[in-house]
Structure formats: structure tokens, C-alpha cells
């Protein structure tokens, strides 16, 4: 088995009007990918619109979601969007889906029956996969029913679907259903244990996930973690030192990456934490991380 490909992508939640300049800069610098988060009540671009815009403006830059919400969306329409994007940008579309938005204020935008979010997620993912084949699909589920339908578009190469999640139930789902994992807010030791859990779940389901399809979304500040950021991290993970989850500077990020790569991860989505200007962050990203790609 060959060496895992270490790759770094950028996630920037800035104003939508900054996107053309940022995309041009990432493409010209030879970066691997740009990732769009589901941040509805913010100035950030919608993930699917951001992916489409970027594909149309570039020739090489890959696009991904980190992560988009699947339950609460119609999976046939999700698949149509992905098939269209994949036809326009073959091998450049990297969807990653999660259970719900990061912000509780946006949860009601993705309605599912009470207590059924995980079940809807599993069924929606099965629908997306089925109709992405381009074949005629009949599906008789609890939440979705299809009768001999086809999107009329077959992606030129299959679309890998990654899932987010950082809990045991998510790891089981990823092993059973996903092509890869993009986690967040985990230490290197936790991420390594997560990878092993996912691989066990995949083996139990009679399948395997490619060894270089394990990744993590990471934040990096410039000049240390501000008190309010550290407090927000503690709210989410009170059991861990915030500095073990979000790097206070680039040297700390390199330390985290060393641990994560040793734990078997090879794909990383890096986002700025705090108010570092996007151009400054991209300059530093290029300087610090491009040499680490293989």
C-alpha cells in the first residue's frame, strides 16, 4: 500500500463578496481544496452555491462541505445538486454531511420527526447514494419512497460521500455507510481511537474505508487563544484543555498535525480562529502547510 496523501484544505467563513478574490488566490497558489460550512445566519456563502461558483471559476481547486446538513433536506434534490456539480467538476467535489447545524438557532431549518434524526439521516444517505448511480431507482423506505426514478445525470466518476461526527454512534454510521470521515474537536489520541472504531464498524458491515479517507477539521489562531474563544471551547468540551483542540498559533498546529498523522489521519481542513484577515491567513497557510503535503 502506498504512502497516504497528506492534504490540507482551507475553510473560510468570511463575507460572500470576498469569495472571488479568495478562490483566485487559492487556485493560483496550488492549494488542494476549499471547504464551505453550513452557516445560514451568517455572511458566509451557502455551501452548494459556494461549490458551484468555485468550480466554475477554477480548473483544479477541489470543493467540499464541512459539513452540510443532510436530514431535513430532500435527498433526491441533494443528489441532483451533487450529480450536477460532479459532472461540471469531475473528481473535484467532496461532500461531507452531518446530522444538524453547529448553531442551535438553525436547527429548526432542517425539520425531521422528533427523535428520528439519525434514522432519517441513514435513509436519506441511502437515497442519495442510490440515485447518484444514474440508474433507475425504486426505494420504499419509512421516510422516502421513489418509484422508478432517474436523475438523468451520471457523475463521470463516483462521488465519495464523507460524514462528520465525533461520537460513537457517528463512528458506527460512518463505518456502515460512508466513504470517509471528517471529524472535529478531537485530540490526536481521540482521533486515532475514532479511526479504529470506524474501521471496526466497516469490517463488521463487510466493507472497508480507504486508509487515506480519514480527516479532521482544525482551527488555528494567531497569537494565542482569546479568553472568550477558550471559554466557548470549554463549553463544548469541558473535559479537555482548549489548547489541545484548537491551536493558539501555527507551531501548536504543527504539533497537533504530527499527532494526527501518527494516528493515521491524512486529510485536514484548516480554518482561522479569531479575526485574522483572510489574505493574511492564506499567506501563512501557504508558507506553513504546503511544504507538508506529499
Number of separate domains in the chain = 1
Residues of the chain where predicted confidence (pLDDT) is lower than 70: 1-2
Residue 163 falls inside a structural domain: yes
Residue 14, pLDDT score:
79
Residue 179 phi, psi dihedral angles, 5° rounding: -95, -10
Residue 21, pLDDT score:
95
Give pTM, 2 decimals: 0.96
Nearest to 63 by CA among 220, 269, 293, 277: 269
Return the sign of the alpha-carbon dihedral for residues 205, 8, 250, 262.
Answer: positive
Give residue-wise pLDDT tens across range 86-106.
Answer: 999 999 999 999 999 989 999
Residue 2, pLDDT score:
63
Question: Domain range holding 257?
Answer: 7-292
CA atoms within 13 A on the CB side of 275: 2
Residue 203 falls inside a structural domain: yes
Residue 96 falls inside a structural domain: yes
Residue 2 falls inside a structural domain: no
- Give the C-alpha separation, 9 to 35, whole Å: 7
* CATH of residue 233: 3.20.20.30
Q: Are the beta carbons of 181 and 215 closer than 8 angstroms?
A: yes
Give residue-wise pLDDT tens across range 209-245.
Answer: 999 999 999 999 988 899 999 999 999 899 999 999 9
Residue 1 falls inside a structural domain: no
Say how many C-beta atoms besides its own lie within 10 A of residue 79's C-beta.
25
Residue 54 phi, psi dihedral angles, 5° rounding: -65, -45
Amino acid at each position: 500500500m502506498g504512502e497516504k496523501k497528506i492534504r490540507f484544505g482551507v475553510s473560510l467563513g468570511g463575507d460572500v463578496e470576498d469569495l472571488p478574490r479568495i478562490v483566485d488566490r487559492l487556485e493560483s497558489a496550488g492549494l488542494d481544496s476549499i471547504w464551505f460550512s453550513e452557516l445560514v445566519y451568517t455572511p458566509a456563502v451557502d455551501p452548494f452555491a459556494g461549490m458551484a461558483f468555485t468550480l466554475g471559476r477554477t480548473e483544479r481547486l477541489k470543493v467540499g462541505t464541512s459539513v452540510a446538513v443532510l436530514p431535513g433536506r430532500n435527498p433526491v434534490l441533494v443528489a441532483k445538486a451533487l450529480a450536477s456539480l460532479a459532472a461540471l467538476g469531475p473528481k473535484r467535489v467532496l461532500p461531507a454531511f452531518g446530522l444538524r447545524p453547529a448553531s442551535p438557532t438553525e436547527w429548526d431549518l432542517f425539520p425531521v420527526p422528533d427523535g428520528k434524526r439519525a434514522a432519517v439521516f441513514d435513509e436519506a444517505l441511502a437515497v442519495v447514494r442510490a440515485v447518484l448511480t444514474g440508474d433507475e431507482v425504486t426505494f420504499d423506505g419509512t421516510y422516502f419512497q421513489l418509484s422508478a426514478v432517474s436523475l438523468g445525470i451520471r457523475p463521470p466518476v463516483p462521488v465519495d460521500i464523507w460524514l462528520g461526527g465525533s461520537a460513537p454512534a457517528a463512528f458506527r454510521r460512518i463505518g456502515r455507510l460512508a466513504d470517509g470521515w471528517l471529524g472535529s474537536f478531537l485530540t490526536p489520541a481521540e482521533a486515532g481511537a475514532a479511526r479504529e472504531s470506524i474501521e471496526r464498524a466497516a469490517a463488521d458491515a463487510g466493507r472497508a474505508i480507504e486508509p487515506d479517507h480519514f480527516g479532521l477539521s482544525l482551527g488555528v489562531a494567531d497569537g494565542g487563544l482569546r479568553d472568550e474563544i477558550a471559554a466557548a471551547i470549554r463549553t463544548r468540551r469541558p473535559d479537555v484543555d482548549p489548547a489541545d483542540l484548537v491551536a493558539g498559533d501555527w507551531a501548536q498546529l504543527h504539533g497537533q498535525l504530527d499527532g494526527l498523522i501518527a494516528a493515521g489521519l491524512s486529510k485536514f481542513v484548516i480554518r482561522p480562529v479569531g479575526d485574522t484577515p483572510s489574505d493574511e491567513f492564506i499567506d501563512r497557510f501557504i508558507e506553513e502547510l504546503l511544504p507538508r503535503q506529499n
